[in-house]
Amino acid sequence: MSDATDVRHEVSAVRREVGGRRLKAGEARVVTISRVYPTTPEDLWDACTSIERIPRWFLPVSGELKVGGSYQLEGNANGTIERCDAPREFAATWEYGGEVSWIEVAVGAEGEHARLTIDHIAHVDDERWAMFGPGAVGLGWDLGLHGLAQHLVSGASVDPQLAEAWSASPEGVAFLTAASDDWCRPSVAAGTPEAEARPAADRTTAFYTGSEPPAADRDAGVEPPAAG
């Protein structure tokens, strides 16, 4: 990306939703992110499941990417592949920082293109949700889906160092800020009071962009959300 117009396009290209789901262990939050890509469902599926292609847009990964197999994303989450219905969907645990959540990844045709949908399902207590909202998880996926778009359009690998530098650039900060703001909308639609959702988005923006958190949070010693 190189200008504000690109930032607006990248943010608006993504569909963001927030919901809930009852699991055996109780109620869980569901953060959903979805985007259409100018490629075939088969190519999109390959980009999201091939151990050779995932590092070209996301993170280096090791393990056995098959049902029952385990995976490790370098410097990030690990987990177990729980089910797979190739080339349509797979589900896996997402284990990071001593906590376990789940991802469900679906690929489908949309006109002449293909849509990727990711549901990230986690038990999040009300206090943490009020503090950081869906963007704590959602912004990480926003960056991933942006990297995937770059890879699918150019066919080239995304340089991790350049990607990290971009996220700290004015354009990257504008992207993260706008995406964080947009996560506030489905949070409110899911029932979070706007008086809570807006400050939560601001805190998450501050964490991802390295900007100063709200003064009240600094005074209270608020801890940032877990990455991953």
CATH 3.30.530.20 matches 4-210: yes
E strand or H helix at 62, and its extent?
strand 61-63
Question: Per-residue confidence of the chain (228 residues) as pLDDT tens digits?
Answer: 444 448 999 999 999 999 999 998 889 999 999 999 999 999 999 999 999 999 999 999 999 999 999 999 999 999 999 999 999 999 999 999 999 999 999 999 999 999 999 999 999 999 999 999 999 999 999 999 999 999 999 999 999 899 999 999 999 999 999 999 999 999 999 999 999 999 999 999 999 999 876 555 544 444 555 545
Cα(202)–Cα(75) distance, rounded to whole angstroms?
Answer: 26
What is the reported pTM?
Answer: 0.91
Cα(207)–Cα(116) distance, rounded to whole angstroms?
Answer: 26
pLDDT at site 6: 87
Handedness of CA 155, 146, 116, 103 (dihedral sign): positive
How do strand 61-63 and strand 26-37 relate by DSSP bridges?
unpaired
pLDDT at site 24: 87
pLDDT at site 220: 44
- Which residues touch 131 (CB under 8 Å, ≥6 apart)? 200, 203, 222, 225
Handedness of CA 74, 79, 45, 120 (dihedral sign): negative
CB 28 within 8 A of CB 128: no
